A and B are shown apart, each in its own frame.
Chain A
Amino acid sequence: MSATAMHDPSKTSYYVNDDLYDEIIAAFTNWQRDDLAVIDPVERDMFRRLLEQEARLLDKDQLEEWLKLFAAECVYWAPATVTGGDPRREVAISFDDRRRMEDRVYRLRTGFAWSQKPKSRTVRMVSNVEVFRTDKPNVRMVRASFQICEFRGFETRSLPGWAGYRYVEQNGRWEIQARQVNLLECDQCIRNPSIVI
């Protein structure tokens, strides 16, 4: 149990501290290595299924269900630079903790989020799923390419990119501890980025 577990991460944010930033930055550095690739098709398929489930929940606007895929103390990080950088020293498109992810869903549910009124319709394609071991037996890193096709305002656009996931096996399941979303256009001006990407 983490030292901060006495705090409800839906209400307060104690776990986003230097240790967490260091841990996340280290986890997302030099992790996509062939020597760490998981070959076992059963395990690979299990993670592929988790990503497909996530894409379905987002496409179907089941955001409350989507939140349940994450660990209690989690991060949803969309860098504004190709390298990702250190989020303590540069702003990101978003760097959400659990509470801010819940804020994000809450805002979209108010009925007054004009950027999502009417709501976007999306179809997400997920492919090129690769699973990598880490030095912890209960932690896996997963890379997947994605393309979000988003219909809104009488037209359909494409938001392609790749995502990195840090999955932790705890509470009897694999939970997303950190999700790094790398939009192809992360450092360019983006029109109406108001859906969960």
Chain B
Amino acid sequence: MLDKTAGHNRPGFNGPGYDYDYLIQDDRVHQSIYTDPAIFTAEMTHIFGAVWVYLAHESQIPKNDDFITTKLGLRPIIVLRDSDGVIRALYNRCTHRGTTLCRLEKGSAHIFRCPYHGWTFNNTGKLRNVPWPDGYASDFKDSKFNVAQVPRVESYRGFIFGTLNMDAPSLDDYLGPVKGPIDEWLDRHPGGKIAYCEANRLMYRGNWKLAYDNSCDGYHVVFSHRSLLDMENRLVNEADKGMSFYKGRPDSAPMYMKYFGHGHHFKDKRPNMEIKPGAMWAIEGPHPGMEHYEAELRRRFSARADEALDLAASEPVNINVFPNLSILGNHIQVIEPLNHYETNTIWYGTAVVDDEGVWGDALPLINALRMRTQEGFPNFGEVDDLANFEEIQRGLAAFEDEWVYMHRGMDIPGRISGDADGVITAPATDEMFMREYIKEWKRLMQTEPNIQIKREP
């Protein structure tokens, strides 16, 4: 049968704009949302310019004057704690000629001096001085010379977000029910806190949404990660390590996924295991130092040792905050789009911080183990997912074959349930979360955000 919609005359591309109702359908999406550079450019305004975007974690800028450089979509940004302790997201752009002001990835500075002509700014963004001002007739007290900044910057329990959109809801409302899993994830740590401790940094040649499409996908696990599952279970008799609970009949396993609105979703694999201390540790595959540190923690804590070991074990959840933040196991994964076919995914490691001294001098033992447990997935799991994302991007170059399907679990009576708050629940192996978040993506692409920048007065 001939597919009459195929080719350049397809209806989604008639007229000046894109017909997003054509590109995003109930059960499938058009390949161009992954391959079209013009759609990518529009996303930098309609998605990354419109919603609360994750920027940094407070543990990266613990003291006044600390900064890191990052991006909001493609916009170069300095996230900092100014000399008065206010967290700001400055545009990394001199107001004079547009030069980036800061070229370091992190550091501490109370001023930023432009390397090109020496214009100097306080870390509030305010212009401090200009070399040889007598050569200008203009008034440098005019706020237009102060560095632009993201007008709305807020933290949720250490996670710093910013939005350029004055019409966006509050961060609290934007996050909504996804705060529940974030709270539970944080609260399993002493004091409800974690700190970043470097990262496994990866890049792939594929659209950024391929990573977000995968972030809650329970269908790919036993296929994409087959080598990891085989590896983790090679030394045991009963294959129960790692993500082995996906084997057999994962559709009817107790794990589930939830869609929370605003593009956020959550996969909870904890119901697959018994609720008792040590249950998470029990399914950890082999890691360097595992037997030594386990023996040492058991010697010191006997009854409480399982609790300590669970802190080194990976929490079996995927908490995905649209568009660029995922809490996966103990990692914070940040998605950084580079262009329509290249993406960075940074897997920040997290360490336990124990301000109250709950674990005393055993804290370094827990973290020594936790560093090694976190290196496993990026090394032996994520690399295979990224290879598959790259192969999707290659496959989609067959552009007359227009559709990418995400209809697993759809139209099966009794399979998907919704509650009064609009939260939707489905088996962990369904593609429900993809269909729901991409509907939100479509709504945003069809909406004009009220983008503004702020400057110090």
| Partner-B contacts on A (CB < 8 A) | 7, 11-18, 21, 80-81, 85, 87-97, 99-100, 103-104, 106-108, 110-115, 117, 153, 187-194
New contact pairs (20) apart from A11-B235, A190-B202, CB-CB < 8 Å: A13-B287, A13-B289, A14-B292, A88-B367, A89-B351, A90-B197, A91-B200, A95-B371, A95-B372, A97-B289, A99-B288, A100-B288, A103-B231, A103-B232, A110-B227, A187-B105, A189-B201, A192-B386, A193-B202, A193-B383
B390 contacts chain A at the CB level, 8 A cutoff: yes
Are B383 and A92 in touch, CB under 8 angstroms?
Answer: no
Would you give the 0/1 interface string for B200-243, flagging 1 where the beta carbon is closer than 8 Å to chain A?
11111100000000000000000010111011101100000000
B286 contacts chain A at the CB level, 8 A cutoff: yes
Are B199 and A91 in touch, CB under 8 angstroms?
Answer: yes
Residue from A7, A16, A106, A114 with most neighbouring chain B CB atoms (10 Å): A114
30 A-B pairs within 8 Å (CB atoms) are namely A7-B291, A13-B286, A13-B288, A15-B292, A16-B292, A16-B372, A17-B292, A17-B293, A17-B296, A88-B364, A89-B371, A90-B197, A91-B197, A95-B375, A99-B235, A100-B286, A100-B288, A103-B234, A103-B286, A106-B230, A108-B227, A111-B227, A115-B384, A189-B201, A189-B336, A191-B203, A191-B386, A192-B386, A193-B383, A194-B387
**A164 vs B288: C-alpha distance when bound (angstroms):** 20
Contacts of A88 in B (CB 8 A): 364, 367-368, 371
**A17 vs B289: C-alpha distance when bound (angstroms):** 6
Contact residues, B173-220 vs A (CB, 8 A)? 197-205
* Residue from the list B205, B288, B290, B291 in contact with A191, Cβ < 8 A: B205
A19 to chain B, nearest CB (A): 10
* Residue from the list B230, B371, B383 in contact with A192, Cβ < 8 A: B383
Are B202 and A189 in touch, CB under 8 angstroms?
Answer: yes
Contacts of A17 in B (CB 8 A): 289, 292-293, 296
B349 contacts chain A at the CB level, 8 A cutoff: yes
Are A192 and B387 in touch, CB under 8 angstroms?
Answer: yes
Contacts of B226 in A (CB 8 A): 110, 112
**A192 vs B291: C-alpha distance when bound (angstroms):** 30
Given the known interface contacts A21-B368, A91-B197, the answer about A100 and B227 at a Cβ–Cβ threshold of 8 Å is no
A189 to chain B, nearest CB (A): 4
| Partner-A contacts on B (CB < 8 A) | 105, 197-205, 224, 226-228, 230-232, 234-235, 286-293, 295-296, 336, 344-346, 349, 351, 364-365, 367-368, 371-372, 374-375, 379-380, 383-384, 386-388, 390-391
Contacts of A18 in B (CB 8 A): 364-365, 368
**A107 vs B234: C-alpha distance when bound (angstroms):** 10
* Residue from the list B201, B288, B351, B391 in contact with A190, Cβ < 8 A: B201
Given the known interface contacts A88-B371, A91-B197, A97-B288, the answer about A112 and B346 at a Cβ–Cβ threshold of 8 Å is no
B285 to chain A, nearest CB (A): 8
Smallest CB gap from B371: residue in A: A91
B62 to chain A, nearest CB (A): 15
Contacts of A113 in B (CB 8 A): 227, 383-384
Are A80 and B387 in touch, CB under 8 angstroms?
Answer: no
Contacts of A99 in B (CB 8 A): 235, 286, 288
**A7 vs B295: C-alpha distance when bound (angstroms):** 13
Smallest CB gap from A12: residue in B: B291
Smallest CB gap from A18: residue in B: B368
* Residue from the list A11, A107, A111, A193 in contact with B231, Cβ < 8 A: A107
Contacts of B336 in A (CB 8 A): 189
Smallest CB gap from B291: residue in A: A12
**A172 vs B293: C-alpha distance when bound (angstroms):** 32
Residue from A85, A106, A192 with most neighbouring chain B CB atoms (10 Å): A192
Nearest 4 A/B pairs, CB to CB:
A91-B349, A16-B289, A189-B203, A97-B288
Given the known interface contacts A13-B290, A17-B293, the answer about A188 and B201 at a Cβ–Cβ threshold of 8 Å is yes
Are A90 and B349 in touch, CB under 8 angstroms?
Answer: yes
Contacts of A11 in B (CB 8 A): 235
A187 to chain B, nearest CB (A): 7
Contacts of A95 in B (CB 8 A): 288, 371-372, 375
Smallest CB gap from A19: residue in B: B292
**A93 vs B201: C-alpha distance when bound (angstroms):** 8
Smallest CB gap from B372: residue in A: A95
Are B202 and A14 in touch, CB under 8 angstroms?
Answer: no
Contacts of B205 in A (CB 8 A): 191
Smallest CB gap from A101: residue in B: B288
* Residue from the list B224, B227, B292, B296 in contact with A13, Cβ < 8 A: B292
Are A89 and B367 in touch, CB under 8 angstroms?
Answer: yes
Are A107 and B380 in touch, CB under 8 angstroms?
Answer: yes
B173 to chain A, nearest CB (A): 32
**A79 vs B290: C-alpha distance when bound (angstroms):** 20
